[in-house]
């Protein structure tokens, strides 16, 4: 890129093989490169990665998809034992002020990011917590910088549906009510036994 030239986030995430080849060449890979990517062996993980890998191939980046069962994939994620790339997961929104998706040595920082700008923002968010408005402002201002670094490729999230019987009370489809995205809201639910019986169960 010429001095002062700016590549927008939209350019980086858009479909532009010519720009991709140019950036690869300027990064020292005029003929592309080969790599492997570890993926959890389920369609909603494999299908988007297959699409991305096909687009990479058009610009000379040859990536082998390595499907893994959940246990193996989780161990490789948790121990950070992968050679090139891993289609991973991220920590839940409850931990955003700790920036563990893009700093530190935990498994959620699967791109091994150690960026002084991000580290400073993390420290500032932690210092501001629990003043959520202040934390949110720091986080919001940081996002354009983070996206421009392209430490990872964020794919669109798919739709998830939660179904529950009408006799499950005090539940509205939440995936999480706490720090982590897990089923930690069960203690707040209750069963309307009379309704359940009236419905023949």
Better-scored residue on pLDDT, 78 or 39? 39
Q: What is the pLDDT of residue 182?
A: 59
- Are the CB atoms for 54 and 84 separated by under 8 Å? no
- Are the CB atoms for 78 and 57 separated by under 8 Å? no
Task: Give the pLDDT mean for 50-75.
Answer: 95
C-alpha distance across the termini of the chain, in Å: 67
- How sure is the predictor about 119, in pLDDT bands with cuts at 50, 70 and 90? very high
Q: What is the pLDDT of residue 1?
A: 52
Catalogue all structural domains in the chain, each as residue range(s) with its CATH number. 1-89 (3.10.105.10), 92-153 (no CATH), 168-198 (no CATH)
Task: Give the pLDDT mean for 37-53.
Answer: 92
User: Helix or strand or coil: residue 129?
Assistant: coil
């Amino acid at each position: 890129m010429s001095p002062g030239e700016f590549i927008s986030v939209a350019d980086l995430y858009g479909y532009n093989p010519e720009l991709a080849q140019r950036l690869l060449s300027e990064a020292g890979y005029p003929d592309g490169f080969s790599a492997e990517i570890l993926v959890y062996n389920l369609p909603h993980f494999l299908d988007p990665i297959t699409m991305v890998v096909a687009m990479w191939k058009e610009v000379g980046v040859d990536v082998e998809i390595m499907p893994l069962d959940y246990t193996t994939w989780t161990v490789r994620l948790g121990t950070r034992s992968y050679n090139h790339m891993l289609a991973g997961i991220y920590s839940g929104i409850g931990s955003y002020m700790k920036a563990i998706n893009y700093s530190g040595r935990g498994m959620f920082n699967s791109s091994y990011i150690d960026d002084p700008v991000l580290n400073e923002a993390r420290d500032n968010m932690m210092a501001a917590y629990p003043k959520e408005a202040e934390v949110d402002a720091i986080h919001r201002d940081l996002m354009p910088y983070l996206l421009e670094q392209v430490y990872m490729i964020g794919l669109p999230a798919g739709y998830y549906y939660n179904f529950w019987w009408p006799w499950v009370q005090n539940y509205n489809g939440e995936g999480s009510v706490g720090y982590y995205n897990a089923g930690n809201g069960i203690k707040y639910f209750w069963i309307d036994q009379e309704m359940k019986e009236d419905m023949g169960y």
